[in-house]
Structure 1
């Protein structure tokens, strides 16, 4: 927990539950459902929903919605599988939508 206090954290915009660390941001150049999205290597205090195949801008992926474990707000999705070889780096990673998270420095 001490490491979390020293890190910049991202919170659910709705209930302020901790959902990600700034150090886990891989890219801020992604598109979410409702605008900009950030690609994270890890997320915490989230629930991963059922998997579904979805055609995204970069091709077919198997994704699962990610929601806050406290308030159930959908925050983005997790990439479960990428079907194109050049998209495999996304597997196991999370997209959290900028409009659904708040960054705070502690």
Structure 2
């Protein structure tokens, strides 16, 4: 029984490290794509961004959080940034649009 628990802990640590590496690799790929002039409409850019989001959710689960915990934290951060009149909200209204997008998914 103890050996199995130890293996599970080791396996969890290994997957956490892999997920962290995956996030870093994806961010690096995004920087490379942007540097080389890829457009936001390019499927490869969308793929990389989706991978970053998906991997972040998976990492949060491995760290003991629920997906809904992350969703709630995102909502809190959006609300706070809107109240604080973050520049991206003042200039483009992106946080309000994101808030509405998240609300429409519920």
Shorter-chain TM-score range: under 0.3
More strand as a share of residues: 1
The structure richer in helix per residue is 2
- TM-score of the pair, normalised by structure 2: 0.23
